[in-house]
Amino acid sequence: MSEKSIARIFDHQSMKLNNQLTILRQIRDRGPITRVDLRERTRLSWGTITSTIKELLGRSVIKEIGSITTSVGRRPIELDMNTERNFVLGLQLGGGFVRSSLVDVKGKVAEELDALVNPRGSRQEILNCLISTGKRILKKHSVEPSDLVGIGIATPGPVDFRAGFCLYAPLHPKWKNVPLKKIFEQKFGVPCFVDHDCNCFALSEKLFGFGRDLEDFLCVLLGEGVSAGIVINGEVYRGSECFSGEFGHTCIEMNGPECACGNTGCLETYISGSALARIAAEEVRQRPESRILAIAGGNAEKITAETLCLAAQQGDALAANLFKRMGVYLGVGVANLINLFNPARVILVGRLTIAYRFFLPTFFETLEKRAWHASTRDVSISGLERGAVMGAAALVLQEAFTSGLIMRRKA
């Protein structure tokens, strides 16, 4: 076969898939919808509409909703996504937990299930928890693996997105060099996508939160670690080796504390949950009257970021001051991001945002002083619950409607 013949076949297949996805996205966004409305909205030919609908019905991707006879005649048959067959499983590996969400193909949560995991457990123990949680949520909702479009997994630490390979996770010392994509595809028999949790947060904001209708924004994750999900031209930016977003390891103090990464003065050593707990443990030795120590049961080693938040809510001056200092450092870091990327919005996510009323005043003061005067300073606190696990599911949903992943599943 000649190169021209091969090119014509490729062009035809590409055009066919593009038309199918155009129709499919209309059904997803506007369903139930009639064939007449589809033709009006897509401007595609009747032949294309008819053949595509036939194939989508045959693959159980969409379904027909029966016509109804009324006083003005018979209502046309409508089309909608088949939410009884096409599900997405989202999983998140957190510090001491695994979260799972079962989502239908229109993005509606059908089931949620969480489990505890020992962060210092073996690689196999953590892997077993992820797999068993996935299997249990499917069983709970009576869904077979064959009903899945795919599986998305959010994990901390460096991730090779293309290979679905987890290199390591700072809070899970034995979680190293895990071919997560390969393992899950073998266990469940469906495509699997694995990404850094900050990228999953950003994707969930793009699809469901404050990032909707924005082409360029940043998602800053404040938790045990600190990172940033970067969205440019509507797409998550991962870098040449998928290692972008290590915002917490930008240096803000040359001679600062040593970081787990081996560098000194990283932003993460000042504003992460673990950093705040460490600083508080040092300072309560000089201020034993602080509510922080009482809430921690008199044991400075048991102080957590949640301890500090509770103490601040009870009027503890030391806890409030720690969050004020956090706001200053966070303001410096985000000002650098704004100066570098000029995003339309910065969205703060993660468990430390529960303390926002204690760190936002100094954060905004610092941002006003340090961000370039012409740049937008639009900052929001995420309103999404379970943002990372929903972002993991969104990895699959995005592929389903952009590359045609949903068209490749077995009927």
Comparing CA positions, the residue from 101, 100, 67, 60 lying closest to residue 83 is 60
- pLDDT of 95 over the 90 cut: no
Q: What is the mean pLDDT of the chain?
A: 88
Report the amino acid identity of residue 184: F
Domain ranges of the chain: 3-81, 87-204+388-408, 213-383
CATH of domain 213-383: 3.30.420.40
> By the 8 A CB rule, do 272 and 255 touch?
no
- pLDDT of 71 over the 60 cut: no
Give me the mean pLDDT over the 147-158 stretch: 92
Angle ∠(126,132,134) on CA atoms, nearest 5: 105
**Would you place residue 72 in the very low, low, confident or very high pLDDT band (cuts 50, 70, 90)?**
low
Confidence at residue 5, expressed as pLDDT on a 0 to 100 scale: 46
Secondary element (H or E) of residue 34: strand 33-34
* pTM, to two decimals: 0.87
- pLDDT of 239 over the 80 cut: yes
Confidence at residue 252, expressed as pLDDT on a 0 to 100 scale: 87
- CA distances 121 to 96, 129, 171, 184, 314, Å, are 10, 10, 11, 19, 35
Q: What is the pLDDT of residues 99-120, one digit of tens each?
A: 999 999 988 999 999 999 998 9
- Work out whether strand 87-93 and strand 148-155 pair parallel, antiparallel, or are unpaired: parallel
Confidence at residue 6, expressed as pLDDT on a 0 to 100 scale: 42
Comparing 87-204+388-408 with 213-383, is the CATH topology the same? yes
> By the 8 A CB rule, do 271 and 283 touch?
no
Rounded distance between C-alpha atoms, residue 186 and residue 189, angstroms: 5
Q: What is the pLDDT of residues 25-40, one digit of tens each?
A: 899 888 888 888 989 8
CATH of domain 87-204+388-408: 3.30.420.40
Q: What is the 3-state secondary structure (H, E, C) of 207-267?
A: HHCCCCCCCCEEEEEECCCEEEEEEECCEEECCCCCCCCCHHHCECCCCCCECCCCCECEC
Length of the chain: 411
> By the 8 A CB rule, do 391 and 347 touch?
no
How many other CB atoms are found less than 10 A from the CB of residue 26? 17
Report the share of the chain in percent with pLDDT over 70.
94
Tell me: domain 3-81, CATH 1.10.10.10, correct? yes
Q: What is the pLDDT of residues 330-342, one digit of tens each?
A: 999 999 999 999 9
Q: Name the maximum alpha-carbon separation found in the chain.
A: 84
